[in-house]
Amino acid sequence: METDVELLTRLRGGDEHAFVALIERYQPSMVRLARSMVPSHAVAEEVVQETWMGVVRGLERFEGRSSFKTWLFRILANRARSAGWHERRQASGRQEPAADPSQFAPSGAWAEPVERWVEESDDRMAAAEWAPVLRSALEELPQRQRQVVLLRDLEGLSGSEVCAVLEISAGNQRILLHRGRTYLRERVDAAMGKG
């Protein structure tokens, strides 16, 4: 599989297949992030399309000071903001859970995983069973928490990359990630009868 840098080099040379490869690689992630920032799937699709147009227009200005993925998600976040879809406060009245620091390792990962799954078919079936619980809990998170969890845990961005994409401080990123992960953990534990 070609790296992003190799695909960008080909794209700068006019290779349309390189652009298609980048779209195939990042489109689902982009829609997922955009969907966390705007009110509907249709608007998310529009934001993603505008982002790709911005990539083509700004390709020559990309200097590689960040990864392509970080640059791409930063463009996407800016497009979502400029479309007028600012962060909405959730008025659900749900109080933020107080996070128990003992549930997390110093790296921010779970100190004890929610469930230890080995690559066996029974375990994969169990994972599929819990996926809707996680998906539902993720949708219930406040917007910024959901964005941070998506970028860190699904897209694999570092804390500093998330800060650059969302234009938030490192401390705020850590708090949002911690609260988001705590809520997800509580929901899964409750569904499993542990809470």
C-alpha of 148 from chain center: 6
Residue 86: pLDDT band (50, 70, 90) is very low
Residue 95: pLDDT band (50, 70, 90) is very low
- Multiple choice CATH, 101-191, 1.10.3720.10, 1.10.10.10, 3.40.50.280, 2.40.50.140: 1.10.10.10
Alpha-carbon torsion angle 190, 187, 136, 177, nearest 10:
-170
Nearest Cα to 26, choosing from 136, 153, 155?
Answer: 155
Q: Chain-wide mean pLDDT for the chain? A: 82
Nearest Cα to 72, choosing from 23, 1, 121, 6?
Answer: 23
Could you report the per-residue pLDDT of 26-46, keeping only the tens digit for each?
999 999 999 988 888 888 999
Give the domain ranges of the chain.
4-82, 101-191
4-82: in CATH 1.10.1740.10 = yes
